[in-house]
Structure 1
Amino acid sequence: MRSSRAWLLTVVRVVVALLVLAVVVWGVARSWPEISVDLRRVDAATLALSTLFAAVGTWLTLLGWRVLLADLGSPLHLAPAAGVFFVGQLGKYLPGSVWSVLAQADMAARLHVPRRRTGVVGLVAIGLSVLTGILVGLPAVPHLLRSSSGGGWLLLALPAIAVVCWPPLLNRLIALGLRMLRREPLEHDLSTRAVLVTVALFVLAWLCFGAHTLVLARTIAGPGAPGLTVAALTGYALAGSLGMLTVVLPAGLGAREGIMTLVLASAMPVSAGTAVAIVSRFVITVVDVLAAGAGWAYARRHHLTASGAAGLEQSDADQRP
């Protein structure tokens, strides 16, 4: 019964993701003549600078995740931490919200990190990322409200999210969640320092992603558009954090682009905002794939992947008398 329910849930997630993708493709195709003109304004230098900002943002996210893991008792050197984090991050491109966490827990276990610990760090990192994204994206809410009347609830939700991520309460929620899952409690709580450092790193990461968006937006719309800097610099954080809440959609596909287009539409034509969202998605995906490729190469060389671990076990078995 449980396997049938899981299979049905997976099918629903895939169908919803495909429907959203179809809607996005249809919307882009309908406005393609205007969008294609805007896309042609993005030159190689703009693409390179935008990619650099996105890569720095991705690296800062890794550092925040690593701080949490070290605080709970598993300090990893930067190289193996990158291998675990970046390869696991590809799980976000599957429908659902836990695949990246499961992949990271599996790989980190080969480094003698308890799966429970890696799982908790992954979920806490997602929660703090959403919180900091909404914080950084707060200046973009007025831009969103000009295009849509449905964003006002963010102002009401923000204090509640801030309270939930307060370190003492956050540790209680972690303990409660582990009890409900019938898992052993963590050896000790997350420290306030670790949470604050992670929050600071995530804020910087969102600002880097915002700079990545701003570079594209200024190239496509020109620097003179009123409100463009605030909309682009903070709009990605708002769109990205809300996209993370749409757990059915792989990597917030469609949701992130839709929100970003609405925010940017306050400072540029809709077709130009759509072009920025399309190029941004392409750049972020390329950065994720390249980081995962480098991480996978390290992980395979050090037997952190399933195939690598199997090869190591076989080698050990062959050497036994």
Structure 2
Amino acid sequence: MFKFNKYTKFFLGIAIIGIVIFFVLDAVHFQLDQFSELRFSFSQKYIYWLIISLFFIMTSLVISAVGWVWIVNILNNDYVSYPLGIKVFFYSQLGRYIPGKIWTFIGRFILCKNNNISKSVITESIIYEIGMSFFAASIISGFILILNNTLHYTAQWLCYGIITICIFSVLSLKFFPNLLNWFSLKTGKKTIKTEISYKILLFYFFLNILLWFFMGYGIYFLARSVIFIPFNISVVFPGFFCIAWLGGFLSFLTPSGIGVREGILVYFLSQFISPSNAIIVSVFSRILLTLAEFLCLFIALGISGLMPVIKKRWLSKIKT
């Protein structure tokens, strides 16, 4: 097994950071180029809808981060503080902007290496995170497509694909750990011991349902800041975003699903608003999501940095 000295680790770290910064800036530049090509009038009286949209999207991201840390603490023998875990989560999210879908998870392995979290725990937590995200997104998407009668008939075939993804997600809760254990045995590594009960998984499922609804309504309020959309139509937005997320996640070659997710959103939003407005909302949603991720990262860094100071002052007051 290779062992790197501190200088090699330092330069590898610098290289990884440089790659992440390059792809993040490239993605932001691409999004701004798309946005600059759009022509629309933005009324200042709707600015509060934009603020509400950002709040809902950030809340969805925080729920996702808290849920992952919660699962890690259930699997891990040593307690991982939520400020630390959330910081690791949002740091690793920067890997989404690098082409390929593994960099986010590789980032978690690297960041958790020195925090008493084993690789098997991180691996299993990622399996549950992906499986439950797919399961929740598939359920929401399926219900929206089945219950919504205003969609074009040509979109109904997507229900079959969504049902397939849903079944795959349910099976993955046991299939992936078993497959990973088989692979671990073949490679001489430790097997994963799954100790999560279905009660915990059910709670985690509803947590994912909640975060998808927050994200979907964040997109609705974003659209509301551009054009008037009746609130009774807002219920379809979580389903539309879930379908777009599934398509973007399955596109392994595009960083963070750029282009794929927007195209799917434009298709479904065009059922209710004009295609030009659908493009505006779709592109702007990507920019707002990127902004929300960075704001959450900065807030997590701030809280993580302040916690030791607060704890030190609190202990000093107790001693006195």
* TM-score of the pair, normalised by structure 1: 0.74
Q: CA deviation at 1:194?
A: 2.9
Say if 2:87 is the partner of 1:83.
Answer: yes
Cα separation, 2, equivalents of 1:86 and 1:204: 19
Q: Please state whether the residue corresponding to 2:63 is helix, strand or coil.
A: helix
Q: CA deviation at 1:183?
A: 3.0
Distance 1:275-1:194 versus aligned 2 partners, 3 A rule: same
Distance 1:170-1:233 versus aligned 2 partners, 3 A rule: same
Q: CA deviation at 1:40?
A: 5.4
Query: What residue in structure 1 maps to residue 115 of structure 2?
Result: 111
Q: CA deviation at 1:60?
A: 0.7
| Number of residues of Structure 1 aligned to a counterpart in Structure 2 | 280
Q: Report if the CA contact (8 A) 2:184-2:191 is conserved.
A: yes
Q: Report if the CA contact (8 A) 1:217-1:232 is conserved.
A: no
Unaligned segments of structure 2, at least 5 residues:
1-21, 308-320
Say if 2:253 is the partner of 1:253.
Answer: no
Cα separation, 1, equivalents of 2:151 and 2:190: 43
Query: What residue in structure 2 maps to residue 45 of structure 1?
Result: 48
Q: Percent identity?
A: 18
Cα separation, 2, equivalents of 1:47 and 1:26: 19
Out of 180, 197, 200, the position equivalent to 1:194 is 200
Out of 126, 130, 137, the position equivalent to 1:126 is 130
Say if 2:103 is the partner of 1:96.
Answer: no
Q: Report if the CA contact (8 A) 1:147-1:262 is conserved.
A: no
Unaligned segments of structure 1, at least 5 residues:
1-13, 303-321
Q: CA deviation at 1:195?
A: 2.0
Cα separation, 1, equivalents of 2:247 and 2:117: 30
CA RMSD between the two structures? 3.4
Cα separation, 2, equivalents of 1:48 and 1:187: 44
Q: CA deviation at 1:116?
A: 2.9
Q: Report if the CA contact (8 A) 1:24-1:254 is conserved.
A: no
Q: Report if the CA contact (8 A) 2:83-2:304 is conserved.
A: no
Identify which range, 205-214 or 174-183, moves more after superposition.
Answer: 174-183
| 2:250 aligned partner, one-letter code | L
| 1:163 aligned partner, one-letter code | V
| 2:214 aligned partner, one-letter code | C
| 1:277 aligned partner, one-letter code | S
Say if 2:167 is the partner of 1:163.
Answer: no
* TM-score of the pair, normalised by structure 2: 0.75
Out of 278, 294, 309, the position equivalent to 1:289 is 294
Q: CA deviation at 1:258?
A: 0.8
| 1:197 aligned partner, one-letter code | F
Say if 2:67 is the partner of 1:69.
Answer: no
Cα separation, 2, equivalents of 1:113 and 1:228: 44
Q: Report if the CA contact (8 A) 1:83-1:299 is conserved.
A: yes
Query: What residue in structure 2 maps to residue 239 of structure 1?
Result: 244
